[in-house]
Homo-oligomer: A and B are copies of this chain.
Amino acid sequence: MSMIETLDANGGDVEGSEAVSLHRRILSDISEKILSGAWAPGHRIPFEHELTAEYNCSRMTVNKALSQLAKAGLIERRRRSGSFVRRPQSQAAVLEIHDIRIEVEALGLLYRYERVARHKRRSNVEDRTLLELNAAGPVLVLECRHFAGKRPFAHEQRLINLAAVTEAADEEFLGIAPGPWLIGRVPWSAAEHRIRAVAADKHIAAALDIAAGAPCLVVERRTWSAEHPVTHVRFTYAAGSHMLVARFTPSQG
Protein backbone atom coordinates (compact mmCIF):
# COMPACT_ATOMS: atom_id res chain seq x y z
CA MET A 1 0.00 0.00 0.00
CA SER A 2 1.76 3.06 -1.15
CA MET A 3 0.56 6.42 -2.21
CA ILE A 4 2.02 9.46 -3.74
CA GLU A 5 2.01 12.32 -1.40
CA THR A 6 3.16 15.85 -1.25
CA LEU A 7 5.31 16.65 1.67
CA ASP A 8 5.07 20.38 1.79
CA ALA A 9 7.79 21.38 4.13
CA ASN A 10 7.43 25.09 4.27
CA GLY A 11 5.26 25.85 1.30
CA GLY A 12 8.13 26.81 -0.96
CA ASP A 13 8.87 30.06 0.73
CA VAL A 14 10.61 32.64 -1.37
CA GLU A 15 10.67 35.93 0.38
CA GLY A 16 8.96 36.76 3.65
CA SER A 17 8.96 33.23 4.92
CA GLU A 18 6.76 33.54 7.96
CA ALA A 19 3.49 32.26 9.23
CA VAL A 20 4.89 28.77 8.90
CA SER A 21 3.76 26.30 11.48
CA LEU A 22 6.45 25.12 13.79
CA HIS A 23 6.42 21.46 12.85
CA ARG A 24 6.88 22.44 9.22
CA ARG A 25 9.81 24.60 10.11
CA ILE A 26 11.41 21.75 12.03
CA LEU A 27 10.76 19.46 9.11
CA SER A 28 12.31 21.77 6.56
CA ASP A 29 15.27 22.58 8.81
CA ILE A 30 16.11 18.93 9.13
CA SER A 31 15.50 18.00 5.52
CA GLU A 32 17.70 20.91 4.49
CA LYS A 33 20.51 19.56 6.65
CA ILE A 34 20.11 16.13 5.11
CA LEU A 35 19.82 17.22 1.50
CA SER A 36 22.69 19.66 1.75
CA GLY A 37 24.85 16.84 2.97
CA ALA A 38 25.54 18.44 6.33
CA TRP A 39 24.04 15.35 7.91
CA ALA A 40 25.31 12.39 5.94
CA PRO A 41 23.53 9.05 5.69
CA GLY A 42 23.86 7.20 8.97
CA HIS A 43 24.08 10.41 10.98
CA ARG A 44 21.96 10.32 14.09
CA ILE A 45 19.71 13.32 14.21
CA PRO A 46 18.91 14.83 17.62
CA PHE A 47 16.52 12.99 19.88
CA GLU A 48 12.99 14.23 20.16
CA HIS A 49 13.67 15.62 23.62
CA GLU A 50 16.70 17.51 22.31
CA LEU A 51 14.72 19.09 19.51
CA THR A 52 12.01 19.83 22.03
CA ALA A 53 14.56 21.89 23.95
CA GLU A 54 16.08 23.43 20.82
CA TYR A 55 12.77 24.63 19.44
CA ASN A 56 11.21 25.16 22.82
CA CYS A 57 8.11 23.20 21.94
CA SER A 58 6.35 20.03 22.99
CA ARG A 59 7.42 16.55 21.99
CA MET A 60 4.23 16.10 19.96
CA THR A 61 5.28 18.89 17.64
CA VAL A 62 8.73 17.44 17.11
CA ASN A 63 7.21 13.99 16.70
CA LYS A 64 4.92 15.22 13.96
CA ALA A 65 7.85 16.55 11.97
CA LEU A 66 10.00 13.47 12.46
CA SER A 67 7.17 11.09 11.65
CA GLN A 68 6.65 12.85 8.36
CA LEU A 69 10.34 12.71 7.55
CA ALA A 70 10.29 9.01 8.29
CA LYS A 71 7.32 8.42 6.03
CA ALA A 72 8.99 10.48 3.35
CA GLY A 73 11.93 8.10 3.57
CA LEU A 74 14.53 10.69 4.51
CA ILE A 75 15.13 9.27 7.96
CA GLU A 76 14.72 5.98 9.72
CA ARG A 77 13.50 5.83 13.28
CA ARG A 78 14.57 3.16 15.72
CA ARG A 79 13.16 2.78 19.17
CA ARG A 80 15.61 3.23 21.94
CA SER A 81 18.33 4.20 19.43
CA GLY A 82 17.07 7.36 17.81
CA SER A 83 16.51 8.60 14.27
CA PHE A 84 19.06 8.27 11.50
CA VAL A 85 19.54 9.73 8.07
CA ARG A 86 18.79 7.09 5.47
CA ARG A 87 20.93 6.67 2.42
CA PRO A 88 19.21 7.42 -0.88
CA GLN A 89 17.48 4.27 -1.99
CA SER A 90 16.21 4.28 -5.49
CA GLN A 91 15.85 6.91 -8.09
CA ALA A 92 12.11 7.10 -7.75
CA ALA A 93 10.48 9.91 -9.63
CA VAL A 94 6.95 11.05 -10.12
CA LEU A 95 5.73 10.59 -13.64
CA GLU A 96 2.65 12.61 -14.41
CA ILE A 97 0.71 11.36 -17.35
CA HIS A 98 -1.86 13.88 -18.40
CA ASP A 99 -4.76 13.66 -20.70
CA ILE A 100 -3.63 13.94 -24.31
CA ARG A 101 -5.89 16.92 -24.91
CA ILE A 102 -4.04 18.76 -22.14
CA GLU A 103 -0.68 17.80 -23.60
CA VAL A 104 -1.64 19.04 -27.03
CA GLU A 105 -3.17 22.27 -25.83
CA ALA A 106 -0.11 22.89 -23.67
CA LEU A 107 1.83 22.99 -26.95
CA GLY A 108 -0.50 25.72 -28.17
CA LEU A 109 -1.99 23.47 -30.83
CA LEU A 110 -5.58 22.65 -31.68
CA TYR A 111 -6.68 19.30 -30.34
CA ARG A 112 -8.83 16.96 -32.38
CA TYR A 113 -9.98 13.46 -31.61
CA GLU A 114 -11.00 10.73 -34.03
CA ARG A 115 -12.44 7.31 -33.36
CA VAL A 116 -11.07 4.95 -35.96
CA ALA A 117 -12.72 1.70 -34.95
CA ARG A 118 -14.86 0.19 -32.25
CA HIS A 119 -16.21 -3.28 -31.74
CA LYS A 120 -17.33 -5.61 -29.03
CA ARG A 121 -16.09 -9.15 -28.71
CA ARG A 122 -15.57 -11.96 -26.29
CA SER A 123 -12.07 -11.60 -24.89
CA ASN A 124 -9.48 -13.76 -26.61
CA VAL A 125 -6.28 -14.98 -25.04
CA GLU A 126 -4.33 -11.89 -26.00
CA ASP A 127 -6.97 -9.61 -24.51
CA ARG A 128 -6.91 -11.53 -21.28
CA THR A 129 -3.15 -11.29 -21.11
CA LEU A 130 -3.24 -7.54 -21.61
CA LEU A 131 -6.00 -7.03 -19.07
CA GLU A 132 -4.74 -9.72 -16.70
CA LEU A 133 -8.15 -11.36 -16.76
CA ASN A 134 -8.64 -14.95 -15.69
CA ALA A 135 -11.95 -15.75 -17.31
CA ALA A 136 -13.36 -14.87 -20.70
CA GLY A 137 -15.87 -12.07 -20.89
CA PRO A 138 -17.01 -9.23 -23.13
CA VAL A 139 -14.50 -6.55 -24.00
CA LEU A 140 -14.70 -3.37 -26.01
CA VAL A 141 -11.92 -2.82 -28.50
CA LEU A 142 -11.20 0.75 -29.54
CA GLU A 143 -8.78 2.40 -31.90
CA CYS A 144 -8.44 6.18 -31.90
CA ARG A 145 -6.25 8.98 -33.12
CA HIS A 146 -5.40 12.23 -31.40
CA PHE A 147 -4.37 15.19 -33.51
CA ALA A 148 -2.25 18.21 -32.70
CA GLY A 149 -3.17 20.81 -35.28
CA LYS A 150 -3.24 18.99 -38.61
CA ARG A 151 -0.83 16.26 -37.72
CA PRO A 152 -1.58 13.01 -35.93
CA PHE A 153 -0.08 13.21 -32.46
CA ALA A 154 -0.88 9.89 -30.86
CA HIS A 155 -2.41 6.58 -31.77
CA GLU A 156 -4.50 4.82 -29.14
CA GLN A 157 -5.37 1.15 -28.91
CA ARG A 158 -7.63 0.34 -26.04
CA LEU A 159 -9.36 -2.59 -24.41
CA ILE A 160 -12.14 -2.01 -21.91
CA ASN A 161 -13.29 -4.81 -19.65
CA LEU A 162 -17.06 -4.62 -20.06
CA ALA A 163 -17.61 -6.81 -17.03
CA ALA A 164 -16.11 -4.03 -14.94
CA VAL A 165 -17.54 -1.10 -16.88
CA THR A 166 -20.91 -2.18 -18.25
CA GLU A 167 -21.97 1.34 -19.26
CA ALA A 168 -19.16 1.47 -21.82
CA ALA A 169 -21.05 -1.03 -23.97
CA ASP A 170 -23.53 1.68 -24.97
CA GLU A 171 -21.01 4.42 -25.59
CA GLU A 172 -19.89 5.07 -29.15
CA PHE A 173 -16.85 7.18 -28.20
CA LEU A 174 -17.35 9.43 -31.19
CA GLY A 175 -17.51 12.72 -29.34
CA ILE A 176 -15.37 11.88 -26.35
CA ALA A 177 -12.14 9.95 -26.02
CA PRO A 178 -12.16 6.85 -23.83
CA GLY A 179 -9.61 8.29 -21.40
CA PRO A 180 -11.62 11.26 -20.20
CA TRP A 181 -14.80 9.17 -20.39
CA LEU A 182 -13.40 6.61 -18.00
CA ILE A 183 -11.88 9.12 -15.62
CA GLY A 184 -14.51 10.34 -13.23
CA ARG A 185 -16.80 7.45 -14.13
CA VAL A 186 -14.57 4.71 -12.81
CA PRO A 187 -12.52 5.33 -9.70
CA TRP A 188 -9.18 3.75 -10.44
CA SER A 189 -7.23 2.35 -7.60
CA ALA A 190 -4.09 1.20 -9.34
CA ALA A 191 -2.30 1.69 -12.60
CA GLU A 192 0.80 0.29 -14.18
CA HIS A 193 2.69 1.92 -16.99
CA ARG A 194 5.17 0.41 -19.38
CA ILE A 195 7.25 2.68 -21.49
CA ARG A 196 9.44 1.63 -24.37
CA ALA A 197 10.66 2.47 -27.82
CA VAL A 198 9.52 0.54 -30.87
CA ALA A 199 9.73 0.73 -34.62
CA ALA A 200 6.46 1.72 -36.28
CA ASP A 201 4.75 -1.13 -38.08
CA LYS A 202 2.79 -0.44 -41.26
CA HIS A 203 -0.46 0.15 -39.46
CA ILE A 204 0.97 2.59 -36.94
CA ALA A 205 3.04 4.29 -39.60
CA ALA A 206 -0.08 4.94 -41.66
CA ALA A 207 -2.03 6.14 -38.63
CA LEU A 208 0.68 8.55 -37.52
CA ASP A 209 1.73 9.54 -41.04
CA ILE A 210 5.33 8.49 -40.59
CA ALA A 211 7.61 6.02 -42.32
CA ALA A 212 7.39 2.36 -41.43
CA GLY A 213 10.24 1.48 -39.10
CA ALA A 214 10.45 4.97 -37.68
CA PRO A 215 11.04 5.09 -33.91
CA CYS A 216 8.03 5.59 -31.68
CA LEU A 217 7.50 6.02 -27.97
CA VAL A 218 4.96 3.58 -26.60
CA VAL A 219 3.22 4.10 -23.28
CA GLU A 220 1.03 1.25 -22.13
CA ARG A 221 -1.22 1.63 -19.14
CA ARG A 222 -3.21 -0.98 -17.31
CA THR A 223 -5.77 0.25 -14.82
CA TRP A 224 -7.55 -1.48 -11.99
CA SER A 225 -10.47 -0.42 -9.88
CA ALA A 226 -10.75 -2.23 -6.60
CA GLU A 227 -9.06 -5.40 -7.86
CA HIS A 228 -10.98 -5.46 -11.13
CA PRO A 229 -9.03 -4.87 -14.32
CA VAL A 230 -10.68 -1.96 -16.09
CA THR A 231 -8.75 -1.10 -19.18
CA HIS A 232 -5.54 -1.53 -21.09
CA VAL A 233 -4.40 1.22 -23.37
CA ARG A 234 -1.41 1.62 -25.64
CA PHE A 235 -0.47 5.09 -26.79
CA THR A 236 2.03 5.38 -29.61
CA TYR A 237 3.77 8.67 -30.33
CA ALA A 238 6.11 9.41 -33.20
CA ALA A 239 9.65 10.08 -31.97
CA GLY A 240 10.17 13.78 -31.56
CA SER A 241 6.51 14.54 -31.10
CA HIS A 242 6.41 13.62 -27.46
CA MET A 243 8.51 13.26 -24.37
CA LEU A 244 7.71 12.17 -20.86
CA VAL A 245 8.95 14.12 -17.90
CA ALA A 246 9.37 12.72 -14.44
CA ARG A 247 10.53 14.62 -11.43
CA PHE A 248 11.84 13.94 -8.01
CA THR A 249 11.98 16.86 -5.65
CA PRO A 250 12.33 15.74 -2.07
CA SER A 251 12.04 19.14 -0.55
CA GLN A 252 13.12 22.13 -2.58
CA GLY A 253 10.68 22.48 -5.44
- Footprint of B on A, CB under 8 Å? 1-12, 28, 32, 34-37, 40-41, 68, 71-74, 87-88, 90-98, 183-184, 186-199, 213-218, 221, 224-227, 237, 239-240, 242-253
**A7 near B71: Cβ-Cβ < 8 Å:** yes
**B11 near A249: Cβ-Cβ < 8 Å:** no
Cα distance, A225 to B252, chains bound together (Å): 10
Residue of B nearest to A34 (CB): B187
A6-B73, A91-B96, A191-B248 given; 14 more Cβ-contact pairs under 8 Å: A1-B251, A3-B9, A4-B94, A5-B68, A35-B225, A90-B96, A91-B191, A189-B251, A192-B247, A193-B247, A196-B239, A197-B217, A197-B218, A197-B239
**A247 near B191: Cβ-Cβ < 8 Å:** yes
**A225 near B184: Cβ-Cβ < 8 Å:** no
Partner of A250, one of B32, B190, B237: B190
CB distance from A181 to the nearest CB of B (A): 13
Partner of A246, one of B7, B192, B197: B192
| Chain B hits for A192, CB < 8 A | 93, 245-248
Residue of B nearest to A228 (CB): B36
Cα distance, A8 to B5, chains bound together (Å): 11
**B196 near A244: Cβ-Cβ < 8 Å:** yes
Partner of A36, one of B37, B193, B226, B252: B226
CB distance from A164 to the nearest CB of B (A): 11
Cα distance, A71 to B7, chains bound together (Å): 7
Cα distance, A6 to B193, chains bound together (Å): 19
Cα distance, A226 to B56, chains bound together (Å): 28
Residue of B nearest to A68 (CB): B5
CB distance from A217 to the nearest CB of B (A): 4
**B94 near A253: Cβ-Cβ < 8 Å:** no
Cα distance, A188 to B250, chains bound together (Å): 9
| Chain B hits for A37, CB < 8 A | 186-187, 225-226
Cα distance, A73 to B95, chains bound together (Å): 16
**B187 near A215: Cβ-Cβ < 8 Å:** no
**A92 near B95: Cβ-Cβ < 8 Å:** yes
Q: Contacts A2-B8, A5-B72, A7-B2; is A88 near B193 (CB within 8 Å)? A: no
Cα distance, A189 to B188, chains bound together (Å): 31
**B226 near A197: Cβ-Cβ < 8 Å:** no
**B184 near A197: Cβ-Cβ < 8 Å:** no
